[in-house]
């Protein structure tokens, strides 16, 4: 069984005692249904799951119910056992197949007999702007592919090791060389395998057969493309073209998506909804450019200037020729893997609830990512895939500009933890703890004014306890 962080969210939802329903959103095949089943197995005596995509009869019956009593009566028709009030979880999956079901949520919550979880693979596209249920009756949670920390749990890295790395990043203390090398190997593995649960499980079951992994990834990418044709309506061809162009644009366009690549005469204002469709479907991650590195970053974000990443690094890698994946896995620096490394960092930041922005510094290049902090400032990040990680003109320019009042910047690279003036060097695998270490603002945290938590410390010689890492 793959351990997922969403399990804690589900438990928190139940124990909160709000009585509200839970709406679990996210892309296809990221483990939503499995997580709910495992949760129900341990937390409820009775459980009913109805998949509205597979059970069209149930979809029609529930969508046409006139009131709560009729809705619940029809639920019982599809239950193999008695539904017991107070100790039953009802899970309605693929609810986008019958959106009218959501009109009943307010009344089901008020009825209070059962707990409800609703989920679906395409909720972001099918329900956007037309949700008919009261927001006050539903708690929404977004699930994403397994992040690097979850991947480490799956391959056997000790949680204590990951926590020690987190603490070393906070104190700017170098990590034991053995642990550093092993974690870099794990990170490169994650770069290729990614975080789709089925893919990770295949990796584990085959003891690292990357050809078998790639076969599963190719099938999932095919399913994603099929979803576009099924759900994107009359814009399916345009959305598919964007999806098809994404890997090439990352490599050839320095990460920035050239809208003109879609078709002759294509413009962002005409195709904006096509890009947003992929984002809402959980397939792509959009990173907007900001005109100023000042908080709040959203104030100067420019939608027409953006980067587009795929939501899972393994799914992206499967779309490149096999030698590219081999180079990433074997740490071959000959191909330029900068954009691919950026993709995994975008995935990690998103998993931590950090909105994605980048900044173009005039005359000095680009700050790959920039995020608001709880210290009423921003934190610039540069991602270095090669050996030359000490050159970072864009961050230097931002730190040198007194107008911006930015005292710290972070370079993510192959190197161990180090400090040089206002620049902190963190290893790429430490991305899983950036929100905590860098005191970043996310929708799930309360913004408070405080000091930047990544403070400068002299090397005290303290060493991280060596533990067994899979690598």
Instruction: Measure the N-to-C terminal CA separation of the chain; round to a whole number of Å.
Output: 20
CB 88 within 8 A of CB 115: yes
Topology of domain 6-142, CATH: Rossmann fold (3.40.50)
| Helix (H) or strand (E) segment spanning residue 216 | helix 210-231
Q: Where on the phi/psi map is residue 273: left (φ > 0), alpha (ψ -120 to 50), or beta?
A: alpha
pLDDT at 124 (0 to 100)? 65
pLDDT at 130 over 90: no
Domain ranges of the chain: 6-142, 148-437
Residues in the chain: 471
Report d(CA 220, CA 80) in Å as an integer: 32
pLDDT at 255 (0 to 100)? 59
pLDDT at 305 (0 to 100)? 84
- On the CB side of 446, CA atoms within 13 Å amount to 1
Instruction: Over range 129-149, report the average pLDDT.
Output: 80
Q: Which residues contact residue 344 at a Cβ distance below 8 angstroms, ignoring those fewer than 6 apart?
A: 148, 190, 191, 313, 428, 431
Percent of the chain with pLDDT over 70: 90
pLDDT at 450 over 60: no
CA separation, residue 81 to residues 45, 47, 76, 446 (Å) = 11, 9, 8, 43
pLDDT at 175 (0 to 100)? 97
3-state DSSP helix/strand/coil percent for the chain, to nearest 5? 45, 15, 35
Instruction: Over range 124-140, report the average pLDDT.
Output: 66
pLDDT at 131 over 50: no
pLDDT: is 449 or 70 the higher one?
70
Tell me: the pLDDT tens digits for 175-210? 999 999 999 999 999 999 999 999 999 999 999 999
What is the gyration radius of the CA atoms in the chain, in angstroms? Answer: 23
Provide the pLDDT confidence category of residue 331 given band limits of 50, 70 and 90. Answer: confident
**In 337-387, which residue ranges form alpha helices assigned H by DSSP?**
338-351
Instruction: Over range 4-18, report the average pLDDT.
Output: 95
CB 36 within 8 A of CB 11: no
pLDDT at 266 over 70: yes
Cβ of 330: how many Cβ atoms within 10 Å? Answer: 10
Confirm whether pTM is higher than 0.85. yes
């Amino acid at each position: 069984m793959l351990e997922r962080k969403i399990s804690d969210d589900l438990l928190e939802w139940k124990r909160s005692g709000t009585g509200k329903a839970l709406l679990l959103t996210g892309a296809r095949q990221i483990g939503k249904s499995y997580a709910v089943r495992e949760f129900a197995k341990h937390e409820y005596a009775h459980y009913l799951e109805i998949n509205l995509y597979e059970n069209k009869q149930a979809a029609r019956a529930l969508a046409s119910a006139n009131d709560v009593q009729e809705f619940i009566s029809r639920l019982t028709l599809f239950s193999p056992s008695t539904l017991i009030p107070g100790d039953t979880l009802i899970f309605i999956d693929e609810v986008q197949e019958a959106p009218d079901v959501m009109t009943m949520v307010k009344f089901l919550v008020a009825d209070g007999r059962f707990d409800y979880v609703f989920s679906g693979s395409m909720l972001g596209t099918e329900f956007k702007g037309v949700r008919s249920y009261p927001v006050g009756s539903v708690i929404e949670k977004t699930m994403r592919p397994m992040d690097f920390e979850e991947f480490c749990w799956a391959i056997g890295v000790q949680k204590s090791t990951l926590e020690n790395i987190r603490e070393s990043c906070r104190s700017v203390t170098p990590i034991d060389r053995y642990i550093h090398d092993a974690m870099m190997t794990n990170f490169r593995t994650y770069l290729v395998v990614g975080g789709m649960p089925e893919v990770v499980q295949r990796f584990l079951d085959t003891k690292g057969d990357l050809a078998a992994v790639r076969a599963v990834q190719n099938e999932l990418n095919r399913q994603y493309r099929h979803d576009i044709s099924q759900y994107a309506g009359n814009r399916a061809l345009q959305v598919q073209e964007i999806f098809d162009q994404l890997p090439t644009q990352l490599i050839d366009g320095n990460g920035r998506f050239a809208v003109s690549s879609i078709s002759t005469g294509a413009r962002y204002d005409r195709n904006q909804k096509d890009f947003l469709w992929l984002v809402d479907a959980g397939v792509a991650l959009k990173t907007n450019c900001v005109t100023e590195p000042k908080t709040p970053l959203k104030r100067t974000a420019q939608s027409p200037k953006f980067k587009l990443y795929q939501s899972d690094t393994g799914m992206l890698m499967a779309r490149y020729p096999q030698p590219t994946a081999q180079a990433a896995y074997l740490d071959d620096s000959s191909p330029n893997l900068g954009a691919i490394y950026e993709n995994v960092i975008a995935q990690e930041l998103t998993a931590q609830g950090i909105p994605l922005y980048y900044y173009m510094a005039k005359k000095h290049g680009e700050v790959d990512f920039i995020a608001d902090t709880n210290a009423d400032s921003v934190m610039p990040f540069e991602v270095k895939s090669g050996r030359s990680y000490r050159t970072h003109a864009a961050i230097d320019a931002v730190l040198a500009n007194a107008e911006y009042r930015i005292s710290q910047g972070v370079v993510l690279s192959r190197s161990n933890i180090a400090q040089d003036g206002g620049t902190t060097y963190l290893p790429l695998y430490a991305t899983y703890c950036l929100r905590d270490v860098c005191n970043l603002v996310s929708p799930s945290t309360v913004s408070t004014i405080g000091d930047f938590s990544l403070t400068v410390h002299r090397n005290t010689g303290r060493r991280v306890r060596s533990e067994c890492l899979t690598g």
